[in-house]
Amino acid sequence: MTDSDQPQGYRRVLLKISGEGFSSGGATGVNVADVAKLAGQLAEIATSGTQLAVVVGGGNIIRGARFSAGTEMIQEATAHYMGMLGTVINGLALQDALENIGCETRLMTAIRMDGFAEPFIRRRCTRHLEHGRVVILACGTGNPFVTTDTAAALRACEIGADIVLKATRVDGVYSDDPEKNPHAVLYERLSYKEVISDKLAVMDVTAIGLCMENNIPIVVFNYLKEGNIARAVAGERVGTLVGD
């Protein structure tokens, strides 16, 4: 991948934000200040004309895969559904935070919750984006045993996103865990095949495969640094770019 391959701004973006974005520092629940800070960054992007869809995680509420571990009382599939409900809680918080600062939104879920959210329908979602609304996507794919990373890749393919932005609390993809190994190397660029073959902790293999098959690049970056989301959307060099 050469410098000329780096796009200078994206028309339609799929942002994946984990539950950590709603409660920093490893805390549980929803932190109003964290959500307000996130909403401010997203509103800046939306008002610039970029079409923005956001897939939210729910780890700050409950991590389904871990919740059922070591117990026979709650089945793993049930725990995954509980995790999906956690993403809805985060989605509602983000929706109100965005609309509180004048940003029009729609919350769409993979499991029907007609009282307060729209069901995810691809054409309806793209129409919302075309009208400048931030679309918040919750419940993952609606299926247990599927990560929200895979949901982000799948939705990006469905809505024709130009890129997947994975917001993390580290500066990009490293050769090792930078929080444990101070000598870990930060990669500037990687191919999809390198990520898979080297088992790098970017997204799960299914998510990487979907993006590779549909030629959707991925940028992994630190959203905690002020302005990084906007810089990533603008195509500036931030984090690690994964592509062909």
Q: How far apart are CA 11 and CA 100, in angstroms?
A: 25
Is there a binding annotation on residue 83? no
Is 63 marked as a binding-site residue?
yes
Does 59 carry a binding-site annotation?
Answer: yes
**Is 208 annotated to bind ligand?**
no
17 known ligand binder: yes
HSE of 23, CA atoms in CB hemisphere, 13 A: 18
- Cβ within 8 Å of residue 15, ≥6 positions away: 42, 52, 53, 54, 55, 165, 167, 229
- Is 2 marked as binding a ligand? no
Q: Does 19 carry a binding-site annotation?
A: yes
Q: Is 145 annotated among the ligand-binding residues?
A: yes
Q: Where is the binding site for UMP, in residues?
A: 58, 141-148
Q: Where is the binding site for ATP, in residues?
A: 16-19, 59, 63, 168, 174, 177
Q: Where is the binding site, in residues?
A: 16-19, 58-59, 63, 141-148, 168, 174, 177
